[in-house]
Structure 1
């Protein structure tokens, strides 16, 4: 655990903020590359990336503060100290996706083609960001005696909650899930699919993994809503379940409405008329053109 990378004349570089910055920079470069392959304008994708970054942080922090208001009621300044941890992924998800859809529609681009281009960036960015959670010591797991369980150092918040106990490395599980989804999405994208398929497939798979991994994470008592068998479930798992249902609904809807994304991403090139001898002209039926839906 290294919450602070270094200090210099009062300036502190926090690992959490550093990893978030790296996640954003890597994610935007990947998005621009994939967007270029789909004929999406770089300037609009760059603007979209900045909008998503701001909305993800505001939404993630806002939902965390809302669900932990008692921690901030007497320290309003703490709301802005995001380097200390305290972002709820789904708060950022919902606000960023909603804001992103509004912006993309105003630019006239296909929402789901942009979403397909962005999906691997989202998976990789979240995976890198979770490494920042691990270094910061937030989002830790429950006590465990597994061989890979981790003891955080004295002074960490986890050590205050579970003194000197080995814990599940939930942050690393989430980081590994993000990395695995990143690789899987790149492989799945090699085959033709309708616009929106990759994006909503990512949302569904990420939500399922998050639902499972959350059983290993520590949450304060206010976050728990009940039990699934012997296992308590929390508000984030409710969000996960809602996202899975929404993703399956959108996949079914887009499947019946959309065209294969690989056909949509290839720009049309006018065909040069063939030169044939007089009297030998022939005609060929032109393939039906398919227009992707937004």
Structure 2
């Protein structure tokens, strides 16, 4: 029998200040991603000073972009509650906004500092999808990114721990654990990309990143279709539109580069 004691989104209290689990998961995901990316960058003998500068700017720009993206598509609400626009600690960041903003900045930075943009994207891609998978647990603590109504029996048949089932009792109904589906998809993609990245002469430069885009957008299309809190553009789910565009765009670009560009560099992890 499941009781209905949900987990608190607040991890620690310091007087009027609260440390939320959402922030802890996001910060932890970013720190792990930075460490793993830097480790690979060192292995590839890239300039550390440039990379530290890139990370120092890319992280806050990505967070701001993610929040701006979310606020834009929820403007009918935030126009009436402008004081909540900066309340990022309550949730409400969109990963596609972070990827767009962070990606544009990384492209500009690499162009201005003589770094190979495809190499940098390849280094970051596996750790980004890992961070996305961890970050979904922040949504779990805030009871966000959930799916349609379901039954207790269905959730129990998934053999989920009770604490997950309890947290999925929202507004009087059990909900589909779409946060969990996407987290598992993302972490599986991380493991797969890491294994494939270190397979000798499997990828050419830029293809690790393109494989990440295809993997993530494919899974996101389906999990987004199950959610009930999607950002919408009229009757369409914004993330599904982007997922379609990104999946076929990345696939087409990978095919084009393989057939039309002759000097692509193979990754050779034996040397």
Interval containing the TM-score (normalised by the shorter chain): 0.7 to 0.9
Q: TM-score, normalised by structure 1?
A: 0.80
Instruction: After TM superposition, list the pairs within 5 Å mapping 1:102-117 onto structure 2.
Output: 102-117=108-123
* Structure-2 separation of matches of 1:58 and 1:125: 17
Structure 2, unaligned runs of 5 or more: 1-6, 159-163
What's the secondary structure of 1:13's corresponding residue? strand
- Provide Cα deviations, 1:46-81, integer angstroms capped at 9, x if missing partner: 222232212221111111111111211122120100
Matched, 1:182 2:197: no
Q: CA RMSD in A?
A: 2.1
Instruction: Note the residue ranges of structure 1 that are not aligned, 5 or more in a row.
Output: 227-232, 267-294
The 2-side partners of 1:108 and 1:128 are apart by: 32
Equivalenced residues, count: 252
| d(CA) in 1 for partners of 2:138, 2:56 | 20
Q: Could you say which residue in structure 2 is the equivalent of 1:260?
A: 265
Corresponding residue SS for 1:26: helix
- Mean Cα deviation higher: 34-43 or 95-104: 34-43
- Larger helix proportion of the pair: 2
For 2:226 and 2:24, the matched residues in 1 are separated by 26
Structure 2 residue 42 is the aligned partner of structure 1 residue 33:
no
Q: Which protein, 1 or 2, shows the higher relative CO under an 8 Å CA cutoff with sep ≥ 6?
A: 2
Question: Does the aligned pair in 1 maintain the 2:140–2:167 contact within 8 Å?
Answer: no
Aligned to 1:170: 178
- 2-side partners of 1:111 and 1:43: how far apart? 16
Structure 1 counterpart SS, 2:192: helix
Query: Structure 1 residues 89, 109: CA separation in 2 closer, same or farther (over 3 Å shift)?
Result: same
When normalised by structure 2's length, the TM-score is 0.86
Q: Distance in 1 between matches of 2:58 and 2:269?
A: 25
Determine the structure 2 residue equivalent to 1:212.
Answer: 222
Larger Rg: 1
- Does the 8 Å CA contact 1:23/1:129 hold for their aligned counterparts? yes
Superposition deviation, residue 151 in structure 1: 4.5
